[in-house]
């Protein structure tokens, strides 16, 4: 089949940070009589990207990711840092030290709602594990959620970081793909390279470092279709474990050398593009 049409809904979740307790959810619309289940992706916005801004800035990206067969849930909390359990990290905007916990709380909420037979979350395929992704400070949240013991505890099995802003570089413990760019003057590419190269990560996991020549910090929002395409491709290989889906050869798209492959021109000119297959 081709890609899915999608729908959008919101939930108010009282376990989220009080700065904003709305969670946006995008999900595929199924054909009548069809009951597929889809993997869950918990997405974390960047600084000044929560609240009502989330609607305008991130919805095109999240909708696009969902169209590849994912249920995407995104917190609006902590637009300028979290209000509760507020922790400041060196050189970072204040209040984001525990922001990653919002990404994890979204996962907990979805699990609980599915057990109560929520009609949207009843469609989540928990057997694949969970995917996580995020932009800027949400990229850092995704880094933290994929590191330490967080991924194991939440059954997170694949991650994608979009221009992560961080001054702490824990090694991810799951397959991850990290986007950055030479035109990003906010979250410079060296930040992404630092956690890509961090010792102590999963030695058997696939990982990718995508440093596009012309990409600025807002690439996931301004070039959302391309970013969503390769983000979905990474999840197809490392979350769904479905290398051929919706008519796409995802193995070739991510790791191949054709004109549509990630590092071979599909995402444009690269300063450096490094893909390490898992074993």
- Whether the pLDDT of residue 1 is over 70: the answer is no
As a whole number of angstroms, the distance between CA 57 and CA 136 comes to: 13
As a whole number of angstroms, the distance between CA 51 and CA 10 comes to: 12
| Closest-CA residue to 27 (of 57, 69, 84) | 69
How much is the pLDDT for 32?
76
Cβ atoms of 57 and 49 within 8 Å: the answer is yes
Q: Long-range contacts for 116-124 (Cβ within 8 Å, ≥24 apart)?
A: 120/9, 120/25, 120/27, 120/71, 121/71, 123/27, 123/28, 123/30, 123/35, 123/36, 123/37, 123/38, 123/71, 124/37, 124/38, 124/39, 124/40, 124/71
What b-and-e string marks burial along 244-257, b requiring 16 or more CB atoms within 10 Å of the CB?
eeeebbbebbbbbe
Calculate mean pLDDT across residues 66-70. 98
- Whether the pLDDT of residue 15 is over 80: the answer is yes
Give CA torsion, residues 217, 219, 222, 226, to 10 deg. -170
- Whether the pLDDT of residue 151 is over 80: the answer is yes
How much is the pLDDT for 87?
96
| Closest-CA residue to 70 (of 14, 133, 10) | 133
Calculate mean pLDDT across residues 32-58. 90
How much is the pLDDT for 31?
84
| Closest-CA residue to 227 (of 262, 196, 269) | 262
| pLDDT per position as a tens digit, 223-233 | 999 999 999 99
As a whole number of angstroms, the distance between CA 99 and CA 83 comes to: 10
Give CA torsion, residues 148, 154, 157, 158, to 10 deg. -70
Compare 158 and 31 and report the one with higher pLDDT. 158
How much is the pLDDT for 51?
87
- Whether the pLDDT of residue 56 is over 90: the answer is no
Cβ atoms of 116 and 50 within 8 Å: the answer is no
State the pLDDT confidence band at 141, using cuts at 50, 70 and 90: very high
State the pLDDT confidence band at 53, using cuts at 50, 70 and 90: confident
How much is the pLDDT for 34?
80
């Amino acid at each position: 089949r081709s890609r899915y049409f999608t729908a959008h809904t919101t939930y108010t979740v009282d376990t989220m940070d009080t700065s904003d307790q709305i969670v946006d959810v995008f999900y595929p619309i199924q054909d009548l009589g069809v009951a597929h289940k889809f993997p869950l992706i918990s997405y974390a916005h960047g600084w000044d990207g929560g609240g009502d801004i989330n609607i305008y800035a991130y919805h095109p990206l999240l909708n696009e990711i969902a169209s590849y067969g994912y249920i995407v849930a995104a917190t609006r909390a902590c637009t300028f840092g979290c209000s509760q359990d507020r922790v400041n990290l060196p050189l970072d905007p204040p209040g984001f030290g525990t922001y990653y916990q919002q990404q994890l709380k979204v996962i907990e909420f979805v699990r609980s709602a599915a057990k109560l037979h929520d009609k949207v979350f009843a469609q989540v395929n928990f057997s694949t594990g969970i995917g996580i992704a995020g932009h800027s400070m949400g990229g850092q949240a995704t880094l933290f959620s994929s590191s330490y013991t967080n991924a194991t505890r939440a059954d997170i099995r694949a991650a994608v970081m979009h221009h992560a802003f961080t001054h702490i570089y824990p090694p991810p413990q799951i397959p991850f793909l990290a986007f950055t760019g030479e035109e990003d003057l906010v979250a410079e590419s060296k930040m992404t390279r630092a956690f890509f190269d961090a010792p102590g990560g999963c030695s058997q996991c696939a990982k990718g470092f995508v440093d596009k020549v012309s990409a600025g910090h807002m690439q996931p929002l301004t070039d959302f279709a391309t970013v969503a395409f390769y983000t979905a491709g990474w999840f197809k290989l490392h979350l769904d474990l479905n290398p051929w889906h919706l008519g796409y050869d995802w193995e070739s798209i991510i790791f191949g050398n054709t004109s549509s492959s990630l590092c071979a021109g599909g995402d444009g000119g690269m300063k450096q593009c490094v893909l390490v297959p898992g074993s």
